[in-house]
A = this chain, B = another copy of it.
């Protein structure tokens, strides 16, 4: 029983911490912008509104499903607006809101760090991997 209680306690702590993280603003923002396609959409729309098809073309690797899903999420979060022009065929434009625009400097700071330091990271990775290869768990004779 003590074991059960301890396990239960751990589960409780974890659940409580998860709940805390769910309300953490920075966590929420990170979850949003770290999405593979979000940063690309934001960047594509930085210079002005675009139609669905243009986004789909510019962001060459995205599937319709993911593009639509990403756009809907960003619209829901108030980061961009979706404007439907009921012509034939229909036309839909996406445009960053001021809130969406305010996010661009944050993205820029991320980009700046990355472009400035990513080489150090890659060097560190290579060193680490070489170190692993040179240090077998059980040295030979």
Contact = CB atoms under 8 A, between A and B. Distances in A.
Interface string A87-131: 000000000000100110111011101110110110111011100
A26 interface: yes
Interface residues of A, number: 48
Interface in A30-64: 30-31, 33-34, 36, 39, 59-61
Given A30-B114, A78-B120, A79-B124, 20 more contacts: A13-B60, A13-B61, A14-B60, A17-B59, A17-B60, A17-B61, A26-B115, A27-B39, A28-B114, A28-B121, A29-B113, A30-B39, A34-B34, A76-B124, A78-B128, A99-B117, A99-B124, A105-B109, A106-B109, A106-B113
